[in-house]
Amino acid sequence: MVFLTALGDLKRVANLYFLFLVVLNWVPLVEAFQKEITMLPLVGVLTIIAVKDGLEDYSRYKMDKQINNLLTKVYSRKEKKYIDECWKNVNVGDFVRLSRNEIIPADMVLLYSSDLDGICYIETAGLDGETNLKQRQVVKGYAEQVSEIDPEEFSSRIECESPNNNLSRFRGFVEHSDTDRVALSKDNLLLRGCTVRNTEAVVGIVVYAGHETKAMLNNSGPHYKRSKLERRVNTDILWCVLLLILMCLTGAIGHGIWLTRYSEIPFFNIPKPDGKSVPPILGGFYMFWTMIILLQVLIPVSLYVSIEIVKLGQIYLIQNDIDFYHEKTDSTIQCRALNIAEDLGQIQYIFSDKTGTLTENKMVFRRCSIAGREYCHEENAKRLESYQEMHSEDEDSADCQCGSSAHTSEWHRHNCRAVCEPLNRKSVNRLSGSYPAFIREGGAGGGPQSGHMAFSSPIETDVIPDAQLLEKFSQISFHSYQQSEEASSKLSLETMYITDFFLALAICNTVVVSVPHQPRQKMRLSSLGRMPIKSLEDIRQMFQRLSVRRLSSSPLPSVKESSSESPSSFVRKLSIFKMKLASPALNGATQRAGEPHNTDSPENSQVPQELDTVNVAAGCEPSNAVSSIELSPLPKLYYEAESPDEAALVHAARAYKCVLQSRTPDQVTVDFGGLGSLTFQLLHILPFDSLRKRMSVVVRHPISNKVVVYTKGADSVMMDLLRTASEEIEEKRIKERTQQHLDDYARRGLRTLCIAKKVMSDAEYAEWLNHHFLAETSIDNREKLLLESATRLETDLTLLGATGIEDRLQEGVPDTIQALRKAGIKIWMLTGDKRETAVNIAYACKLLEPDDRIFTLKSQSRDVCALVMSKILEDIQKNASAKKKPRQKLGNVSASPSTQAPGFSAGLVIDGRTLEHVLHDSLQNIFLELTEKCRAVVCCQATPLQKSVLVKLVRSKLEAMTLAVGDGANDVSMIQVADIGVGISGQEGMQAVMASDFAVSQFRHLRKLLLVHGHWCYTRLTNMVLYYFYKNVTYVNLLFWYQFFCGFSGTSMTDYWILILFNLLFTSVPPIIYGVLDKDVSAEILMQLPQLYTMSQKSVAYLPSTLWITLLDAFYQSLVCFFVPYFTYYDSDIDILSFGNPINTAALFTILFHLLIECKSVTWIHTVVIVGSILCYFIFTLAFGATCKTHNPRSNSYWIMEKHMTDPVFYLVFLLTTCVALLPRYLLRVLQGTLFPSQLLRAKRLDRLTPEGQRESIKTWKAECNVNDRGESQVTSVSFSSAAGAVSEEESIDNVLPTSKTPFQACSRDGLVEDTSFLLDIQDDSSSTNCLNSKKTEFLNLSKETNTDTFADNNSCAKVCVCASESSAVSLAEKAGLNSLLCEEDALL
């Protein structure tokens, strides 16, 4: 491995160059040094790299060896039993038996589980960091086995797709001996690296082993990205190579001329043994290669090693910055990429996710709408406003008193206690240094358990119900629900809507139920243990349940046979491929479980008293008047959800006593207040995906015995799936009112979801099931077929209601975004939420400002989209040209350098459908031109693929440095495409973190990571690189100038050992310390003045001119270092090496003191290293001169340094040389600091002031920048004041987000007012309005459908909307300027 690493390092340009020199020096005709000396630089560099990589490889080897030798139970066909086998010996086709808490050794299909329902719970923290349990199911047909599967009797054939790294997909099928096929999916696959939980024993057959497992295919090793600076260094090294060639050509030509002039003198042209002399041309050719060997130091071979060491030092400082530590999660920054730290200082674009990145990803249930009526949950809103997560028991009790004072009812007293108890436990656990952890499972060999469950903080789990809705909910009983299905009155219809709404919240999810005192144990209602057996009727019901289980042991029907059977028979046989249908006997038992309650009793008129006690009797009546069975209370339930939205909805349903009790592969049990415990037969789950943007569950309702589809999803897709053919007046009213509520929720910054249902007959379900079975058993195009199947099912839905969930902003997000924008960084927000929600969050986090002019780009066709973007560009360019002259009078201080129009601030909002058009090749350029003129871009309803394409587009087309930040799996592709990917270690697992280059716990940490460490890393590294080029050119030129005095013979006036070690040892450590510790401006100043970031962003420290100025300075210093000693010892009898010794010494002092001049902050470490380098040089030369008398046969360096140490002229020479060489550089820095100080020098002086003086200076600096901003705002508002037509007054909405109020609210559809005066503003040089009108029909024909977001019936050129509160409507309109919502019809007038 070390050898392979060395070969990999030889791919670098400089290393290849030195390998070429080693080989070249072995040619006798061009040999310049001893062969061993030439090999020294390359061997030294490769040795250091090999040692570093060897240590890493050894630690990796030990870890691999430990993992490969882990033991697992594998079935041996020779011994007819399971034996212990190492992981490395597990092969495809082996049967593996695992117990609880064991790690899965290979990817295997689950064939047996000790769980009665055929479930295996796994923890995927080893793959994606998610600690919540995931369900995996035994392959259909094997789930109902009474005993463990016998490998000897397994005769089926498994066919699956080729190994791939897609963790979320698995396609295949099991073919039995009778050619019947059963589909395989990811729900049947146990992945390597996961841990078995809550299951005593599982058996699976291995389908992928070793390096073919999905976990190994995803572990491609450390991802390597080349930084922008490294690419630039490679380019500059090529310039050095060109310079080297020129110098060698000069030497070759000079040597040829020398030989021609002295051709008759044998001393200069020694004949060959045959008496012939070497021709001058051939001698010049040989000398060219000799000069390359002699001047090889011009190429800085040690630069790459120094860069690696400096980067490690910079990463160490970043990781140990205490400001990145997040106490709440006990996490700090992770630097996963070690070679791109300097790119942090050059970021131009930031692409950010919204949920979990800008927000906390703590979903809090705020509002809901059911049957067109809104329930505001005001008491819950008051609790959230005053809610704070306490860190001590005193604060917890104070919060309880506050919460209980709001309501004096018995229910609220219990709810307050439920809020406080988790907080108290949390406080105690934090004091003990641990998180709230579940109790470990007993027994030896218990595996590691996760101590934290996501989406379970009290602010997320505790919901105060709306009093009005709670009253309606408490009146629901068995009789009232049945009447609501039969009757059509408004009251009965509302009862049905409320019931189905909360049932959908409780069961339309994949939430796992567990109990706290037995951690990670699912809450399961066994078919044999749901109630005490006290009568023959109970025994009869028990056998009826067992008969359902026997159903799965029947032969598997083929597709051909099923096509000729009746629908009911087909459904009954085919149901085992997914979930079992209820038999009539079981349905009757279930119906009896839901018999009417005694609604007159006080117990049924109120909500049950204890929240932590749930009724789980499945075969008995819940009323005491009907049944005498005593209910034993069960512990409080914990819900483990895959997303925070699911958890929020389940907890909201639980607050209304619609409690999710258990979930198995074939049933879901819900305790629904007055209806008692309802067990739904779970037929199918259609999971959420980014294309459908919805999720559905298909169940058989226990009361109606009908197949019901419950669906939840985004309103942008759900509204199109509702019934349209035979809509009743009431349904239309519900749809309209619900849409109004959704728009209001979005304006408040809430995440919205629509809830709907559909009732199917058995015949309809059987027909759909037939198509779905074919899609499931297909390997080719399975995703497409399943999508079509889901689309076929999710149509003609009945809208039940909608929910509004709040996701609060993270701490410090607005300040961070403001600082980053002042630093000249453009920020794009890419989110899947709807437009109104995204825009309001953008205002709340100050991504958009009230002064910004917002353009909403939304169109249904590519041509119309192009026209709209052209109109926006014309308008922006027109206003930019109008403001060009006023801006010039504002001064030269720029707060945020940007490419947008001067004096103009615009924002662009675009949705996912329009993104499909603008990402087309024909529209990419105009889209990028438009975004460059906007200070912020908000992309809403964007898919993960669109996010990555946007990042790639900006990176490649604009050649800009990009940073992508996200927290979930949907952000992985975007993170990997960007120059720098940052993962937020939030609540949605660790997929984003594992794919990222840097991982932080909060978005606000980006501020210091970029503005401080990014600036430092880039500035330090560029200065160090320039210094390396300087010192190498300086030293090499000493040898070059000497060639003019030795006939260009390739002779050196310095011993070869000193020549090689000068750059490799004597002057290598100081620049490394310089690159790690130099600090031009303190962190405090960089944080307070983000404008300084533009210095590194624009590569001011490493411009092409800077490199050539540095090289010219190196040439000058080399001339001084050579010719001052030359004229000092002119006409003396000093020998060659004695002449070279003062030159070397003067060059050493010049190069090291040059570094001191360039250092911005000299510490004791710098002093120690420089003094140590000087001492090292003198010690080596003294020792070398005393011991190596005849080391070099061509010269004798014996006692040279010792003689010079006693000569005063020697000291005078190198001191005078050093002063003369450094004088221009020193004077330049002095003049630059006094007469022409840069922003960085001005900022550095602030560190020397007193605290009060520093504050005043910073305030003055910021005021200069704000003058420019205010001037731009005034010009903008004055220009657009004539364009505002009317103001739509809306209800003032305060506290849209708790962290930051939204200063500007998005407009409702009813509040828009047409303003035709805007025609004059947007159509600057267009021919006429009629010309545009003539194109309207043409473009509308190109569009397949009209814009769904058109706000008025008639077509206007623009709808101008400025929304404000009642108190300051007009002033805010003037301040906001003109916010244009340009839609498809806007450009067609």
The answer to whether 102 and 447 have CB atoms below 8 angstroms apart is yes
> How confident is the model at residue 151, as a pLDDT?
92
Tokens standing for residue 1088: 């307070």
> How confident is the model at residue 1330, as a pLDDT?
38
The answer to whether 1243 and 1081 have CB atoms below 8 angstroms apart is yes
3-state secondary structure labels for all residues of 730-763 = HHHHHHHHHHHHHHHHHHCCCEEEEEEEEEECHH
DSSP 556: P
Highest mean pLDDT among 376-380, 457-461, 588-592: 376-380
Segment 1353-1362 mean pLDDT: 32
583/593 Cα distance (integer angstroms):
15
Average pLDDT, the chain: 74
Q: Which tens digit of pLDDT belongs to each residue from 851-886?
A: 888 898 888 888 899 999 998 898 888 776 665 554
User: pLDDT-based confidence at 14, cuts 50/70/90?
Assistant: low
Of the candidates 95, 110, 114, which has an alpha carbon nearest to the alpha carbon of residue 182?
110
> How confident is the model at residue 1336, as a pLDDT?
38
Q: Is the pLDDT of residue 181 over 80?
A: yes
- With the C-alpha atoms ordered 1134, 1137, 1143, 1149, is the resulting torsion angle positive or negative? negative
With a CB cutoff of 8 Å and minimum separation 6, the contacts of 1083 are 1008, 1012
Q: Is the pLDDT of residue 570 over 50?
A: no
Angle at the Cα of 1149 (from 1146 to 1154), degrees rounded to 5? 120
Q: Higher pLDDT residue, 275 or 1170?
A: 1170
User: pLDDT-based confidence at 370, cuts 50/70/90?
Assistant: very high
Q: Is the pLDDT of residue 591 over 70?
A: no
The answer to whether 1372 and 1304 have CB atoms below 8 angstroms apart is yes
Of the candidates 62, 214, 210, 63, which has an alpha carbon nearest to the alpha carbon of residue 128?
214
Segment 407-429 mean pLDDT: 36
604/468 Cα distance (integer angstroms):
17
> How confident is the model at residue 48, as a pLDDT?
76
Residues paired with residue 700 on neighbouring β-strands, in sequence order = 681, 707
> How confident is the model at residue 501, as a pLDDT?
93
Tokens 């003294």 map to which residue?
Answer: 1182
User: pLDDT-based confidence at 739, cuts 50/70/90?
Assistant: very high
DSSP 235-246: HHHHHHHHHHHH
Q: Which tens digit of pLDDT belongs to each residue from 1168-1215?
A: 999 999 999 999 999 988 886 555 555 567 788 998 999 999 999 989
Segment 684-698 mean pLDDT: 87
Q: Is the pLDDT of residue 779 over 50?
A: yes
Tokens 């007959």 map to which residue?
Answer: 761
Tokens standing for residue 513: 């139920």
Q: Higher pLDDT residue, 333 or 879?
A: 333
User: pLDDT-based confidence at 711, cuts 50/70/90?
Assistant: very high
The answer to whether 139 and 185 have CB atoms below 8 angstroms apart is no
> How confident is the model at residue 751, as a pLDDT?
85
Q: Which tens digit of pLDDT belongs to each residue from 487-499?
A: 555 667 888 899 9
CA 734: distance to chain centroid?
39
State the amino acid at position 458 in one-letter form. P
Tokens standing for residue 1381: 């919502």
Element (H, E) at 137: strand 133-137
Q: Is the pLDDT of residue 1126 over 80?
A: yes
Tokens standing for residue 587: 């349905």
> How confident is the model at residue 838, as a pLDDT?
86
How far is CA 359 from each of CA 644, 701, 841, 908, 939, rounded to the nearest angstrom? 12, 38, 9, 21, 16
1304/1313 Cα distance (integer angstroms):
17
> How confident is the model at residue 327, as a pLDDT?
87
1009/314 Cα distance (integer angstroms):
12
The answer to whether 165 and 54 have CB atoms below 8 angstroms apart is no
1179/1173 Cα distance (integer angstroms):
10
Q: Is the pLDDT of residue 1270 over 70?
A: no
State the amino acid at position 59 in one-letter form. S
Of the candidates 183, 1310, 1153, 279, which has an alpha carbon nearest to the alpha carbon of residue 736?
1310
User: Quick count: other Cβ atoms within 10 Å of Cβ 200?
Assistant: 11
Q: Is the pLDDT of residue 243 over 90?
A: yes
> How confident is the model at residue 860, as a pLDDT?
82
> How confident is the model at residue 484, as a pLDDT?
61
715 tagged catalytic: no
User: pLDDT-based confidence at 131, cuts 50/70/90?
Assistant: low
838/831 Cα distance (integer angstroms):
7
Q: Is the pLDDT of residue 680 over 80?
A: yes
Per DSSP, the three-state class of 549 is helix
Lowest mean pLDDT among 636-640, 928-932, 1143-1147: 636-640
The answer to whether 368 and 651 have CB atoms below 8 angstroms apart is no
Residues paired with residue 964 on neighbouring β-strands, in sequence order = 351, 981
> How confident is the model at residue 403, as a pLDDT?
37
Segment 1234-1247 mean pLDDT: 87
Element (H, E) at 686: strand 676-686
418/404 Cα distance (integer angstroms):
11
User: pLDDT-based confidence at 987, cuts 50/70/90?
Assistant: low
Q: Which one from 94, 107, 180, 353 is the annotated catalytic residue?
A: 353
Segment 1122-1136 mean pLDDT: 91
> How confident is the model at residue 455, as a pLDDT?
65
Segment 104-127 mean pLDDT: 87
DSSP 437: -
H-type helices in 1051-1135, by residue range? 1056-1061, 1069-1077, 1083-1088, 1093-1097, 1104-1128
Segment 278-288 mean pLDDT: 87
> How confident is the model at residue 1077, as a pLDDT?
92
User: pLDDT-based confidence at 143, cuts 50/70/90?
Assistant: confident
Question: What are the b/e assignments for 286-310, b being 16+ CB within 10 Å?
Answer: bbbbbbbbbbbbbbbbbbbbbbebb
Q: Higher pLDDT residue, 524 or 124?
A: 124
> How confident is the model at residue 1196, as a pLDDT?
67
> How confident is the model at residue 634, as a pLDDT?
43
How far is CA 916 from each of CA 933, 944, 957, 1361, rounded to the nearest angstrom? 21, 13, 17, 26
- With the C-alpha atoms ordered 1358, 1359, 1363, 1367, is the resulting torsion angle positive or negative? positive
> How confident is the model at residue 75, as a pLDDT?
95
| In the chain, % of residues over pLDDT 70 | 69
21/26 Cα distance (integer angstroms):
9
570/589 Cα distance (integer angstroms):
24
H-type helices in 187-325, by residue range? 214-218, 228-261, 280-294, 301-319
The answer to whether 10 and 22 have CB atoms below 8 angstroms apart is no
Residues paired with residue 827 on neighbouring β-strands, in sequence order = 350, 936
Segment 392-398 mean pLDDT: 38
Strands 1363-1364 and 1288-1289: parallel
User: pLDDT-based confidence at 35, cuts 50/70/90?
Assistant: low
- pTM listed for this prediction: 0.71
With a CB cutoff of 8 Å and minimum separation 6, the contacts of 506 are 650, 653, 654, 658, 659, 660, 668, 670, 672
Helix then strand then coil, % of the chain, to nearest 5: 50, 15, 35
544/535 Cα distance (integer angstroms):
15
User: pLDDT-based confidence at 1131, cuts 50/70/90?
Assistant: confident
DSSP 1009: I
Element (H, E) at 500: helix 490-507
Tokens standing for residue 183: 């589909």
